Amino acid sequence: MFTEAKRAVRFVFQYFSANLQSAMEYRGAFLSQVVFMFINNLMLLFFWWVLFTQIETLNGWSFEHVMLLYAVASGAYACQALLFGGSFTLSRAIAEGRLDFYLALPKPVLLHVLISRSAASAWGDLVFSLAIFALTAAPSPGLLLAFLILIFAGGVVMTSFAVLANSLSFWLGQSEQLADELIEALLTFSLYPEGIFSAATRFVLYTVIPAGFVSYLPVRILTDFTLVHVVLMILFALGLALLARLVFYLGLKRYESGNLVVINATE
């Protein structure tokens, strides 16, 4: 059990460093992407700052909260994109029969696909996330640790959600666009303060599109710590990950190695 875990970590790490090396092959592009992402995030936040010069709070959310929200959401996204970048393109891999490669190797297919890619631009998001976090709270080591754990858990939620969305193509055939839009929606909602939504929408955001577990709940934990919320957060991340795994492997039974041949019957 322990050696198994050690092996898995080594495996993830080796992929991670190989991905980084790949990105370094194009140092110029890498750096400009990172800088671009950083500036892009900063501009979004600037928009909120302008808004908050007009009003004090927005349904209980202050600019401080929004900054923390941005730190948490971009941190969670960075975790997904850097560690599990394969989650974005999973349905394409399914449609194009690219799972063959992973199926021929002696490692768990899902984990292997997930770590096979790393979006270099997300380093910009990570730097942004940490910088904004440093600006908001008086960053004690304890709080930083909590922050890192929370963005990792948020990253797991985002990754699991992406796996679920992308696994649809096992059943629906070519559905990359649908999956992309779902993934995009989760990220977008994670960047809005919860306060602006109605109760019904909030219900959706804690279930179907779990932005609540990517950013709202972590923000609440960081500003107003309760153990119950921490436990809830971790259980949700774990549960969603297990569900995603289950659904993926169920779908994999239907995998036909580039199975999405559509015949045009004209008669």
Ligand X SMILES: Nc1ncnc2c1ncn2[C@@H]1O[C@H](COP(=O)(O)OP(=O)(O)OP(=O)(O)O)[C@@H](O)[C@H]1O
203 binds another protein (CB under 8 A): no
Q: How far is the CB of 102 from another protein (least distance, A)?
A: 9
Q: How far is the CB of 255 from ligand X (least distance, A)?
A: 9
63-83 and 27-54 are packed helices; what angle lies between their axes, rounded to 10 degrees?
A: 160
Q: How far is the CB of 260 from another protein (least distance, A)?
A: 8
Quick check: 77 and 158 in contact, CB under 8 A?
yes
Q: Of the listed pieces 81-89, 122-130, 165-173, 251-259, which binds ligand X according to CB under 6 A?
A: 251-259
Q: Strand, coil or helix: what is 46?
A: helix
11 binds another protein (CB under 8 A): yes
Distances (CA, A) of 168 to 67, 71, 120, 175, 244: 34, 30, 26, 7, 11
Q: Of the listed pieces 50-58, 132-140, 238-246, 256-264, which binds ligand X according to CB under 6 A?
A: 256-264
Q: Strand, coil or helix: what is 61?
A: strand
Q: How far is the CB of 162 from another protein (least distance, A)?
A: 23
| Residue in 105, 261, 262, 263 binding ligand X, rule: CB under 6 A | 261
100 binds another protein (CB under 8 A): yes
User: What is the rounded CA–CA span in Å between residue 57 and residue 70?
Assistant: 16
Look up residue 58 and give its DSSP letter: B
223 binds ligand X (CB under 6 A): no
- Select from 34, 63, 33 the least CA-distant residue to 48: 63
Q: Which residues bind ligand X (CB under 6 A)?
A: 256-259, 261
